Structure 1
Amino acid sequence: MRGARFSVGRGEVVAVTGQSGSGKSSLLYCLAGVLPVARGEVRFEGRALGELSDDEVSTLRRERFGFVFQYGELLPELTVEENTALPLRLAGRRKGPALAAAGEVLERLGLGGLRERRPSQVSGGQSQRVAVARALVHRPAVVFADEPTGSLDSANASAVLAEFLGLARSQGTAVVLVTHDPAVAAQADRRYSMADGALSPEEPV
């Protein structure tokens, strides 16, 4: 990747656009500490991820970062509520308080009536809303979203995106999302385009 230099602040939404194979997903996973960077560095709250131990990076991903993927990636054996509470449980929160916090986020996203259902019992749009709830339930510092509405039709995509970004901004969570959809990128505070591994800022419209 070349020219991949940018920062994201609290409650800010940054979008990276580009065609398939342009390198935007690789950039996202480097920022999240999933992939190592060959040159340069990724810093979070003043610390370079490359200087942290594997355990420290894992703790960051578990407690300070959230993730939304194109197809939700919910665990089929868990209920909607249990899927949502998973980041809290992994961070050591007791089951009762974790489920209560999950229920509050699900209510805010209009999913309170689906708590006991399994992922196979909800629609695609509902499933992606659950993925958003799971990403935000532990109030992470930043959420990394890889084509978060790519599997949805336009109506569901617009609704899910609005709820996702609205909730993230309200709780001060930064969002870095990659997308090939100009309509999705238009909802960001700042936009970058990626082509052949090179990142360039887009002028505001």
Structure 2
Amino acid sequence: MISTSVVLSANDVDLFYGDTLAVKGAEISLHRGEVAAITGQSGSGKSSLLYCLAGVLPAARGEIYFEGQVLGELDDEELSMLRRERFGFVFQYGELLPELTVEENTALPLRLAGRRKAEALTAAGEVLGRLGLAELRQRRPSQVSGGQSQRIAVARALVHRPAVVFADEPTGSLDSGNATAVLEEFLSLARSQGTAVVLVTHDAQVASRADSQYTMRDGVLSALVREAT
């Protein structure tokens, strides 16, 4: 369910790579439980904006706010804690740690936040169960399919109930059937938790599942659709 409260916003944000302007004057506002999709061609700046919103890349101008905090005013330790405890991430290829079991991979954000192992594994088991992955708990990433791997990455991103999940082409490596199923489960679980999602995708069908849609062209972000919240 989308809340009226804004959890993340960008105000006239520029981002440079050296002398190259990658993002120009970006404006976006994300409410709790809202899914915002950013589409655009390769090299348009959409992934750069995603990582800027997550505090991974510093804005050269403008401000990014998370729950009223200005990300640019936080030091490296504070930003790391924010990304570890309040943010979640889903990447195109899952990026699971091969030496850990599915259960341990899923529990990783909780363990990094200092939660006890038993508590973290219990929470991991619960979210894996909600995604239909309970029987895979003791397997290694090499023993699961691509679709299952991406579901596990979704479970890991959501297990600690983050305020925002940043998803960079989360279905880009999957066939259409698996992509649809993974996206459905991802967005359903995120919305049920009140977790906002920033979703970067080249796929218009994926973007159509979002509450609001933006397009990126030559570093300029434009709103396509903004549903009433």
* TM-score between both structures, scaled by the size of structure 2: 0.88
Residue in 1 aligned with 2:182? 160
Cα distance in 2 between the residues matched to 1:43 and 1:11: 17
Match of residue 163, structure 2, among 132, 141, 148: 141
Match of residue 9, structure 1, among 31, 40, 43: 31
Give matches, 1:95-106, under 5 Å: 95-106=117-128
Whether 1:80 and 2:88 are equivalent positions in the alignment is: no
User: Which amino acid in 1 is paired with 2:218?
Assistant: D
Alpha-carbon distance, 1:41 to partner:
1.1
Number of equivalent positions? 205
SS at match of 1:110: coil
Whether 1:172 and 2:194 are equivalent positions in the alignment is: yes
Alpha-carbon distance, 1:181 to partner:
0.2
CA offset digits 1:84-141 (Å, max 9, x no partner)? 0000000000000000000000000000000000000000000000000000000000
Alpha-carbon distance, 1:4 to partner:
1.0
Match of residue 67, structure 1, among 76, 86, 89: 89
SS at match of 1:151: coil
Residue in 1 aligned with 2:10? none
Alpha-carbon distance, 1:204 to partner:
6.1
Alpha-carbon distance, 1:203 to partner:
3.5
Cα distance in 1 between the residues matched to 2:226 and 2:188: 20
- Percent of pairs with identical residues: 79
Cα distance in 1 between the residues matched to 2:73 and 2:113: 22
The alignment yields a C-alpha RMSD, in angstroms, of 0.9
Gap change, CA 1:54 and 1:204, over 3 Å in 2: closer
Whether 1:50 and 2:72 are equivalent positions in the alignment is: yes
Match of residue 28, structure 1, among 50, 53, 66: 50
- Unaligned stretches of 5+ residues in structure 1: none
Residue in 2 aligned with 1:188? 210
Contact preservation (8 Å) 1:85, 1:137: yes
Cα distance in 2 between the residues matched to 1:204 and 1:101: 34
Alpha-carbon distance, 1:39 to partner:
0.8
* TM-score between both structures, scaled by the size of structure 1: 0.99
User: Which amino acid in 2 is paired with 1:45?
Assistant: E
Alpha-carbon distance, 1:2 to partner:
1.9
User: Which amino acid in 1 is paired with 2:73?
Assistant: E
Cα distance in 2 between the residues matched to 1:201 and 1:12: 15
- Unaligned stretches of 5+ residues in structure 2: 1-22
Cα distance in 2 between the residues matched to 1:123 and 1:4: 37
SS at match of 1:16: strand
